[in-house]
A = this chain, B = another copy of it.
Amino acid sequence: MASVEAIDLFLLQVPDFDPDRDPVKDTLLVRVRAAAHEGWGECEAAPLVSLAAFVTPESHSTSQPVAASVIGQKLDDPADIAAITRSVATKSMNVLQAPHVFSGVEMALWDLLGKMHQEPAYRLLGYREAFPKVPYVVMPFASTPQETFRRMEQIRASGFHAVKTGWNGFGSGNLLADRAQLAAAREGLGKDARLFLDAARVWGTDVSAATRYQPLLEEFSVEWVEEPFIPTALDAYADLARKHGRDHVAAGENANSVAHARQLLDIGGIGIIQIDCGRVGGIGAAAEIARFADEGGAVYLNHTYTSHLALSASLSAYAGLERHSLCEYPSDRTSLSWAICADHLEIGPGGMIVSPEAPGLGIAMNLDGVEDRVVDLEIRFSDRILYRTPCLRT
């Protein structure tokens, strides 16, 4: 019988961060050890706050640190991860940040369990087979249509057939300028490429503003619009989905619970749910949402702009669901996210990617390569050191 022996958190940050150069500023890695094995996970965004949620002293019975539900717990099979997940939901119910840090911890538990069983995580999750997925890359509009065209041409040349674009003021109401950007993107990519738009909540809760863009999206065969509205605007989502068909409305990256994702599907009526494994509560939560979406005829896919460790974790959640064939693919080789992994999910035959067959999440870490980016951090609480950056190599 194995149990969780140690959990170490590492906050990494890009030195001399430059927003024009660096796609990612920081990250929080989680290392879990048990029975002479090691598992890794990654939490998306706000790493210091997540770290605090792991080490905080207990405030009251439902405001306990996430650590209290994990360290020392039995870890022999998937049911043990489910039990730990339930414990966090109860003991840390009133620590709002808890799902965020637990996401990385839970990933690491699956990675570890897979290594113990010598099985890929997706198989421990109950999938017999991992189906290939179509990767799409994320490429924002450039400052000019000419530059957008050039970027999209490059993407096409590098072998991708699907792109999500958006931002840089798109959607603010200048339909002529926005049309020029979309036209440039479509032209650069070619007619047969798949194109998606991330509206990044630009229309707030305003359905009519979103509707004004519908002809443009149809003209350039944009398959779906992501986050037209703020995540809580369920009525606006429902309205847009009714008007334009739910298969054209996507959201979900901000979901931090299964319940939240289900609401987007059930009440918001969206047809495409995009889940970030590093935020929603981990792989188990993501898999539950994937099955729920599948049963309801919606499409599930991942949201990932972190590492290929997180990408592998994300894939494992819906690896065995053949109908759900799209995958958001972090492709920036200059990023901190790329650097932290030694292995990457490379594009395979037919331009597809597939979950690794290696045990756990199947991704080796590149600790030597990122050691200098680990932030030396300390939280002192009266005369106790609650957290001090541990050693990455021991």
Contacts and interface: CB of A to CB of B under 8 A. Distances in A.
Interface stretch (A42-50, A155-163, A287-295, A355-363): A42-50
Interface string A276-289: 00010000000000
A85 interface: no
A87 interface: no
A100 interface: yes
Nearest to A386: B48
Interface stretch (A33-41, A57-65, A214-222): A57-65
Contacts of A93: 254
A48 B56 contact: yes
A53 interface: yes
Instruction: Bin chain A's interface residue count.
Output: 35 or more
A380 interface: yes
Contacts of A96: 46, 49, 96-100, 256
A377 B385 CA distance: 10
A174 interface: no
Contacts of A386: 48
Contacts of A279: 94
A94 B93 CA distance: 18
A46 B53 CA distance: 8
Contacts of A58: 25
A378 interface: yes
A6 interface: no
One complex includes copies of this chain to the number of: 2
Interface in A6-26: 13, 24-26
Contact of A45 (B13, B59, B382): B59
A99 B49 CA distance: 13
A241 interface: no
Nearest to A100: B96
A263 interface: yes
Contact of A52 (B52, B59, B257): B52
Contacts of A382: 13, 375-377
A375 B279 CA distance: 31
Nearest to A54: B49
Of A45, A93, A263, A376, chain B has the most CB atoms within 10 Å of the CB of A45
Given A52-B49, A254-B93, A25 B379 contact: no
A48 B13 CA distance: 22
Contact of A47 (B47, B51, B59, B100): B59
28 contacts: A24-B60, A26-B57, A45-B63, A46-B56, A46-B94, A46-B95, A46-B96, A47-B59, A48-B52, A48-B57, A48-B381, A49-B52, A51-B52, A52-B52, A93-B254, A94-B254, A95-B97, A96-B96, A96-B100, A96-B256, A232-B257, A263-B263, A267-B267, A375-B382, A377-B379, A377-B380, A378-B378, A378-B380
